[in-house]
Amino acid sequence: MKKRQTKAPDIKKAQASWKRNRYAKAMDACAPAKAFTTVSGKAIKELYTPADLPGFDYIRDLNFPGEYPFTRGIHPTMHRGRPWTMRQFSGFGTAEDTNRRYKYLLAHGQTGLSVAFHLPTLMGVASDHPLAKGEVGKCGVAIDSLVDMEILFRGIPLDKITTSMTINAPAAVLWAMYIAVAEKQGVSPKVISGTIQNDILKEYIAQKTFVFPPRPSMKLIIDTFEYGAKEVPRWNTISISGYHIREAGATAVQELAFTLRDGIEYVEWGLERGLEIDEFAPRLSYFFNSHNDFFEEIAKFRAARRIWAEVMRHRFGARNPRSWWLRFHTQTSGVSLVAQQPYNNVVRVAVQALAAVLGGTQSLHTNSLDETYALPSEEAVTIALRTQQVIAHESGVANAIDPLGGSYFVEALTREMENEAKSYIKKIDDMGGMVKAVELGFPQKEIADSAYWYQKAVDAGEKIIVGVNAFAMEHEPIPLLEIDRTVARQQVARLRKVRKTRNQTAAKGSLADLKKAARDDRNLMPYLLKSVKAYATLGEIMDTLKDVYGEYQEPVTF
Amino acid sequence: MRAKKIRVLVAKPGLDGHDRGAKVICRALRDAGMEVIYTGLRRTPEEIVSAAIQEDADLIGLSILSGAHPILFPRIIKLLKDKGAEEIPVIAGGIIPENDIARMKKVGIREIFLPGTSTQEIVRWIQENIGRRGKK
């Protein structure tokens, strides 16, 4: 006799009855009602069943790993075929200091480099600029000219390692320096691989390290797309970043929606330039945050892949499946770490890293326990790297691909977040796109509202943070990395020496050519390469471009 | 008679653009009945001090996450003194190593609030320690 299968409508009825007769009554006897919501404030039901997935179609909604819409992952083998890249973001002090840290990380099993630049470099100002006072070598490594970049990668073969560089407003300049260093090592630009963040939209939206106004900034980014597609084909010319949007206070859905809409904006500008979609889309990559709410994060990563695949295939008509792939890097959430009882941060990072792995990330940075105080110490960064290694080699979570696929809860949440993100995307489409929305202050306001909502929820004790608004106790100070006070002096001395000893005619001439090319609206990459090779400094190059493009002034609101 | 509102200048020195904390504090202080002036990003010590004087602030709240506080905080305190405005108290928050706290307080920063501080705690501190300047 064949067993009778329960159909979905029966489950729905049975679920309602269970909720009424069993669950609700039992809950009445439990602790006083509290709201069950994610860290983003999204309501979570008590139980998910097939009735929460009406019309669910395995092939259409999930399909197999490596198959459209890639909900289960972009590669057929995922972490079985190739574990995620363990890529710790680091940089501090002088190029020598950071070069030593890179060699240490590589010797301890890290598989890719990720450069953190100090704030003057991020803002495109020289280390001896008045605004750089107190900042040199603090938040990252000080890079003022090609000389620093040569030291940064000394003894590190650029044909063997991939490098990610977190740089935005001056991204094209730092990329030119990297290409120049590779050439000096005898490595062709055709074989180097890595990523520049190069995502200016999220700077206006969230991280605020902008220099030029939005439109010329977008032009520079499209220059890198165009140049990269021809000359540096293995380079990811952008890492479209939700990370900072989330850190600034966005909910998970806002992170998802704003980031993907940024991606759409870059594609539109690329097409506007006359680029062929399948020529540059495969080099677009993403960067997400992994916050505390485990399932919400996993659902976010899965929804991101599905939305992007659909956007690329159907909205933009891309035909190369690689253009449909949403490849992404993940960093655990800095803002979720707390100063109180800092060793607990190791646990938070582990949970967040696990969500990123289960969400199918291609590479991962795990934060260090001491980052609410300072840049990480060597000991702290080692624990962070070990956390990834324990997940990869001991936990067994990467054995099966997308192990949570098919969970009623995870699938329902993935679908819900997908729908909510799509309605945000539609709203921004209706405003005229992301550059327009940024100019109107729309995403900025949404994020500030979410940040304030969350802080109030924490202050009211509706959201518990262990060690902060519950389970508080005194803790001993922890050992921290201190940046040598001589760093600024050394860096400024080196910069001044470069300015004095280089071939002045070549340097000045290259800057004049750059300015003319900017005025003529040419692709600036060849000119930037010429300038950096002539040892024009980052500050000089950015000042030259400021003369043409102007500087962005953010409207002050809160 | 209704007490005058406390006027707070929330300022962001340093090159970093992390303004989440500053903006949350601005809203929380406003909701607690204070008048809040926010400087926006990347203000130099000179700009912050002259804004505080011009705005007749009762308090300056600095937010910095870049690590430049050991240089910038003492500079702000010194400029306040130079301009005869040292009676304007200064508090701060952000990414500040515990080892630096004592040093910064010695320089003249009245209080430092680390990540995890509730907005109520900051509001309470201000209400208990800061009056309307000269009109207490």
Note whether residue B136 is domain-resident: no
Q: 3-state SS of A138-195? A: CCCECCCCHHHHHHHCCCCCCCCCCEEEECCCCHHHHHHHHHHHHHHCCCCCCCCCEE
Structure tokens at B128: 């208990």
Note whether residue B69 is domain-resident: yes
Structure tokens at A527: 């000119």
Give the mean model confidence (pLDDT) for residues A351-361: 98
A119 interaction partners in chain B (CB closer than 8 Å): 14-16, 66, 68
B40 shares contact with chain A (CB less than 8 Å) = yes
CA distance A29 to chain B (A): 33
Residue B99 has its nearest CB partner, among A480, A483, A558, at A480
Q: What is the ipTM of this complex?
A: 0.90
A339 interaction partners in chain B (CB closer than 8 Å): 114-116
Interfacial A residues in 476-515 facing B (CB < 8 Å): 477, 480, 483
Taking 80 as the threshold, does the pLDDT of residue B133 lie above it?
no
Contact indicator for A248, A334 with CB cutoff of 8 Å? no
Q: In whole angstroms, what is the distance from residue A322 CA to residue A320 CA? A: 5
Contact B95 A120 (CB under 8 A): no
CA distance A296 to chain B (A): 22
Sheet of A113-116: strands edge to edge?
A: A89-90, A113-116, A163-166, A194-196, A235-236
Q: In whole angstroms, what is the distance from residue B127 CA to residue B124 CA? A: 5
pLDDT at A5: 76
Give the mean model confidence (pLDDT) for residues A105-127: 92
Taking 50 as the threshold, does the pLDDT of residue A249 lie above it?
yes
pLDDT-derived band at B1 (thresholds 50, 70, 90) equals very low
Dihedral sign from CA coordinates of A356, A358, A363, A364:
positive
Give the mean model confidence (pLDDT) for residues A78-88: 92
Contact B42 A372 (CB under 8 A): no
Give the mean model confidence (pLDDT) for residues B70-85: 97
Residue A372 has its nearest CB partner, among B115, B118, B120, at B115
Residue A452 has its nearest CB partner, among B24, B68, B96, at B24
A277 shares contact with chain B (CB less than 8 Å) = no
* β-pairing verdict for A363-365 and A328-332: parallel
Q: Is the pTM of this model over 0.80?
A: yes
Contact indicator for A410, A295 with CB cutoff of 8 Å? yes
Give the mean model confidence (pLDDT) for residues A13-40: 90
Note whether residue B133 is domain-resident: no
- The chain-wide mean pLDDT, for chain A, equals 95
Taking 90 as the threshold, does the pLDDT of residue A379 lie above it?
yes
pLDDT-derived band at A34 (thresholds 50, 70, 90) equals confident
A455 interaction partners in chain B (CB closer than 8 Å): 24, 28, 119
pLDDT at A292: 97
Which domains does chain A possess?
A: 16-81+197-438 (3.20.20.240)
Taking 60 as the threshold, does the pLDDT of residue B135 lie above it?
no
pLDDT digits (tens, 9 = 90+) for B9-43: 999 999 999 999 999 999 999 999 999 999 999 99
CA distance A494 to chain B (A): 21
> What's the domain range around B84?
7-128
pLDDT digits (tens, 9 = 90+) for A528-538: 999 999 999 99
Note whether residue B80 is domain-resident: yes
Structural domains counted in chain B: 1
pLDDT-derived band at A2 (thresholds 50, 70, 90) equals low
pLDDT digits (tens, 9 = 90+) for A52-63: 999 999 999 999
Note whether residue B1 is domain-resident: no
CA distance B29 to chain A (A): 11
Instruction: Output the domain CATH number for residue B60.
Output: 3.40.50.280
Size of interface A-B (CB pairs under 8 A): 114
pLDDT at B3: 65
Interfacial B residues in 47-106 facing A (CB < 8 Å): 66-72, 75, 95-99
pLDDT-derived band at A32 (thresholds 50, 70, 90) equals confident
Residue B66 has its nearest CB partner, among A135, A373, A556, at A135
